[in-house]
Amino acid sequence: MSRAGAPLKGRAGRLARLMPSASPSSAARTPFVLLVVLLLGGGLITLLLLNSALNEGSFRLSELKRDTTELTDEQQALQRDVDSYSQPGALERRARELGMVPGGSPAFLDPDGTVRGVPTKATAPPPSPSPSPTPSPEPTPEDGAQADEAGAGVPSPTPSGTATPSPGAAAEPESEDAPAPENTPATPPPTTPGR
Protein backbone atom coordinates (compact mmCIF):
# COMPACT_ATOMS: atom_id res chain seq x y z
CA MET A 1 0.00 0.00 0.00
CA SER A 2 1.04 3.56 -0.11
CA ARG A 3 2.80 5.38 2.53
CA ALA A 4 1.38 8.58 3.96
CA GLY A 5 3.86 11.39 4.07
CA ALA A 6 6.28 9.84 1.61
CA PRO A 7 7.62 12.19 -0.98
CA LEU A 8 5.97 11.97 -4.34
CA LYS A 9 8.09 10.88 -7.20
CA GLY A 10 7.90 11.36 -10.86
CA ARG A 11 5.21 13.36 -12.45
CA ALA A 12 3.16 13.89 -9.30
CA GLY A 13 6.21 15.27 -7.50
CA ARG A 14 6.85 17.81 -10.18
CA LEU A 15 3.22 18.97 -10.08
CA ALA A 16 3.33 19.23 -6.30
CA ARG A 17 6.38 21.48 -6.48
CA LEU A 18 4.71 23.79 -9.01
CA MET A 19 1.63 24.27 -6.81
CA PRO A 20 2.13 26.69 -3.93
CA SER A 21 1.19 25.69 -0.41
CA ALA A 22 -2.37 26.35 0.93
CA SER A 23 -1.68 29.07 3.49
CA PRO A 24 0.07 31.66 1.25
CA SER A 25 -2.53 31.30 -1.57
CA SER A 26 -5.52 32.28 0.64
CA ALA A 27 -3.74 35.48 1.68
CA ALA A 28 -3.09 36.43 -1.97
CA ARG A 29 -6.73 35.85 -2.99
CA THR A 30 -8.31 38.27 -0.49
CA PRO A 31 -7.39 41.56 -2.28
CA PHE A 32 -8.44 40.09 -5.63
CA VAL A 33 -11.84 39.05 -4.26
CA LEU A 34 -12.33 42.48 -2.71
CA LEU A 35 -11.41 44.13 -6.03
CA VAL A 36 -13.92 41.99 -7.95
CA VAL A 37 -16.68 42.68 -5.40
CA LEU A 38 -16.00 46.44 -5.55
CA LEU A 39 -16.01 46.41 -9.37
CA LEU A 40 -19.28 44.48 -9.48
CA GLY A 41 -20.89 46.77 -6.86
CA GLY A 42 -19.69 49.90 -8.69
CA GLY A 43 -21.01 48.55 -11.98
CA LEU A 44 -24.39 47.74 -10.42
CA ILE A 45 -24.67 51.23 -8.89
CA THR A 46 -23.65 52.79 -12.23
CA LEU A 47 -26.32 50.74 -14.04
CA LEU A 48 -28.97 51.83 -11.52
CA LEU A 49 -28.03 55.51 -11.92
CA LEU A 50 -28.01 55.17 -15.71
CA ASN A 51 -31.41 53.46 -15.66
CA SER A 52 -32.96 56.17 -13.46
CA ALA A 53 -31.49 58.89 -15.72
CA LEU A 54 -33.01 57.16 -18.77
CA ASN A 55 -36.38 56.89 -17.03
CA GLU A 56 -36.27 60.58 -16.13
CA GLY A 57 -35.44 61.41 -19.75
CA SER A 58 -38.30 59.20 -20.89
CA PHE A 59 -40.76 61.05 -18.63
CA ARG A 60 -39.46 64.39 -19.89
CA LEU A 61 -39.77 63.18 -23.49
CA SER A 62 -43.38 62.07 -23.00
CA GLU A 63 -44.19 65.43 -21.36
CA LEU A 64 -42.64 67.30 -24.29
CA LYS A 65 -44.57 65.14 -26.77
CA ARG A 66 -47.81 65.96 -24.96
CA ASP A 67 -46.96 69.68 -25.01
CA THR A 68 -46.12 69.43 -28.71
CA THR A 69 -49.46 67.77 -29.43
CA GLU A 70 -51.35 70.48 -27.51
CA LEU A 71 -49.46 73.27 -29.28
CA THR A 72 -50.02 71.61 -32.67
CA ASP A 73 -53.76 71.43 -31.97
CA GLU A 74 -53.79 75.08 -30.93
CA GLN A 75 -51.81 76.07 -34.03
CA GLN A 76 -54.25 74.19 -36.27
CA ALA A 77 -57.23 75.87 -34.59
CA LEU A 78 -55.64 79.29 -35.09
CA GLN A 79 -54.87 78.44 -38.72
CA ARG A 80 -58.54 77.47 -39.24
CA ASP A 81 -59.55 80.85 -37.77
CA VAL A 82 -57.14 82.68 -40.09
CA ASP A 83 -58.46 80.70 -43.06
CA SER A 84 -62.07 81.49 -42.18
CA TYR A 85 -61.27 85.21 -41.80
CA SER A 86 -59.36 85.18 -45.10
CA GLN A 87 -62.26 83.92 -47.19
CA PRO A 88 -63.59 86.51 -49.64
CA GLY A 89 -67.09 86.56 -48.12
CA ALA A 90 -65.72 87.13 -44.62
CA LEU A 91 -63.40 89.87 -45.85
CA GLU A 92 -66.27 91.60 -47.65
CA ARG A 93 -68.54 91.38 -44.61
CA ARG A 94 -65.84 92.77 -42.31
CA ALA A 95 -65.06 95.58 -44.77
CA ARG A 96 -68.74 96.55 -44.90
CA GLU A 97 -68.86 96.54 -41.09
CA LEU A 98 -65.95 99.00 -41.13
CA GLY A 99 -67.78 101.24 -43.61
CA MET A 100 -65.73 100.36 -46.69
CA VAL A 101 -67.34 100.28 -50.12
CA PRO A 102 -66.29 98.62 -53.40
CA GLY A 103 -63.93 100.80 -55.38
CA GLY A 104 -65.50 100.58 -58.82
CA SER A 105 -63.42 100.48 -61.97
CA PRO A 106 -59.91 101.86 -61.61
CA ALA A 107 -58.08 104.36 -63.77
CA PHE A 108 -54.42 103.91 -64.74
CA LEU A 109 -51.61 106.34 -65.40
CA ASP A 110 -49.38 105.65 -68.38
CA PRO A 111 -45.66 106.43 -68.13
CA ASP A 112 -46.20 109.54 -70.24
CA GLY A 113 -48.75 110.86 -67.72
CA THR A 114 -51.97 110.18 -69.61
CA VAL A 115 -54.91 108.68 -67.79
CA ARG A 116 -56.42 105.48 -69.10
CA GLY A 117 -59.95 104.77 -68.00
CA VAL A 118 -62.43 106.98 -66.25
CA PRO A 119 -61.77 107.51 -62.53
CA THR A 120 -64.96 107.36 -60.52
CA LYS A 121 -65.70 108.04 -56.91
CA ALA A 122 -66.50 104.96 -54.83
CA THR A 123 -70.07 105.10 -53.65
CA ALA A 124 -71.86 102.96 -51.13
CA PRO A 125 -74.50 100.66 -52.56
CA PRO A 126 -78.05 101.38 -51.47
CA PRO A 127 -78.85 99.92 -48.07
CA SER A 128 -80.80 96.72 -48.03
CA PRO A 129 -84.51 97.29 -47.57
CA SER A 130 -85.61 97.06 -43.99
CA PRO A 131 -88.71 95.06 -43.16
CA SER A 132 -91.86 97.13 -43.50
CA PRO A 133 -93.55 98.06 -40.23
CA THR A 134 -96.82 96.40 -39.43
CA PRO A 135 -99.80 98.60 -40.25
CA SER A 136 -101.47 100.14 -37.27
CA PRO A 137 -105.14 99.35 -36.72
CA GLU A 138 -107.75 101.83 -37.99
CA PRO A 139 -108.54 104.46 -35.35
CA THR A 140 -111.91 104.16 -33.72
CA PRO A 141 -114.17 107.23 -33.33
CA GLU A 142 -113.08 107.61 -29.69
CA ASP A 143 -109.41 107.54 -30.72
CA GLY A 144 -110.05 109.91 -33.65
CA ALA A 145 -109.78 113.08 -31.58
CA GLN A 146 -106.59 111.87 -29.94
CA ALA A 147 -105.13 110.86 -33.32
CA ASP A 148 -105.88 114.32 -34.75
CA GLU A 149 -104.07 115.99 -31.86
CA ALA A 150 -101.11 113.57 -31.99
CA GLY A 151 -100.91 113.65 -35.79
CA ALA A 152 -100.25 117.37 -36.09
CA GLY A 153 -96.74 116.71 -37.49
CA VAL A 154 -97.92 114.00 -39.93
CA PRO A 155 -98.29 115.15 -43.54
CA SER A 156 -101.87 115.50 -44.60
CA PRO A 157 -103.04 114.49 -48.05
CA THR A 158 -103.67 117.30 -50.53
CA PRO A 159 -106.56 117.39 -52.92
CA SER A 160 -104.40 115.92 -55.71
CA GLY A 161 -103.83 112.83 -53.55
CA THR A 162 -100.14 113.40 -52.84
CA ALA A 163 -98.77 114.00 -49.40
CA THR A 164 -97.04 117.25 -48.58
CA PRO A 165 -93.64 116.58 -47.10
CA SER A 166 -92.96 117.82 -43.65
CA PRO A 167 -90.17 120.38 -43.24
CA GLY A 168 -86.75 118.75 -42.95
CA ALA A 169 -87.83 115.57 -44.71
CA ALA A 170 -85.67 114.42 -47.59
CA ALA A 171 -87.13 114.88 -51.03
CA GLU A 172 -87.93 111.59 -52.68
CA PRO A 173 -88.43 110.98 -56.39
CA GLU A 174 -92.10 111.31 -57.26
CA SER A 175 -92.29 108.23 -59.45
CA GLU A 176 -90.23 105.21 -60.21
CA ASP A 177 -89.90 106.33 -63.84
CA ALA A 178 -88.07 109.49 -62.78
CA PRO A 179 -84.42 109.71 -63.83
CA ALA A 180 -81.76 108.76 -61.31
CA PRO A 181 -80.01 111.57 -59.42
CA GLU A 182 -76.97 113.07 -61.15
CA ASN A 183 -74.47 111.85 -58.57
CA THR A 184 -75.09 108.22 -59.53
CA PRO A 185 -72.12 107.25 -61.72
CA ALA A 186 -72.71 105.63 -65.06
CA THR A 187 -70.98 102.33 -65.58
CA PRO A 188 -67.52 103.18 -67.04
CA PRO A 189 -66.19 101.14 -69.94
CA PRO A 190 -64.07 98.19 -68.85
CA THR A 191 -60.33 98.76 -68.93
CA THR A 192 -57.59 96.23 -69.26
CA PRO A 193 -54.85 96.73 -66.66
CA GLY A 194 -51.29 96.88 -67.93
CA ARG A 195 -52.02 98.13 -71.47
Q: What is the tens place of the pLDDT at every residue in 157-166? A: 444 444 444 4
Question: Does residue 62 have a pLDDT over 80?
Answer: yes
Residue 17 has pLDDT above 70, yes or no: yes
Q: Is the pTM of this model over 0.85?
A: no
Instruction: Return d(Cα 95, Cα 85) in angstroms, integer.
Output: 11
Q: Note the pLDDT of residue 14.
A: 77
Higher pLDDT, 88 or 136: 88
Q: Which helix (H) or strand (E) element contains residue 26?
A: helix 22-86
- pLDDT at res. 64: 96
pLDDT tops 60 at residue 184: no
Beta bridge partners, 108, equal 116
CA dihedral 20, 23, 29, 30 (to 10 degrees): -170
How confident is the model at residue 176, as a pLDDT?
46
Angle subtended at Cα 137 by Cα 135 and Cα 140, rounded to the nearest 5 degrees? 150
**Quick one: pLDDT at residue 105?**
81
Asked if the model's pLDDT at residue 167 lies above 50, the reply is no
Better-predicted residue by pLDDT, 13 or 175: 13
Q: List pLDDT tens digits, range 100-142.
A: 888 878 889 999 999 998 888 877 776 666 666 565 556 555 5
| Whole-number pLDDT of residue 138 | 61
Share of residues in the chain with pLDDT > 90 (%): 34
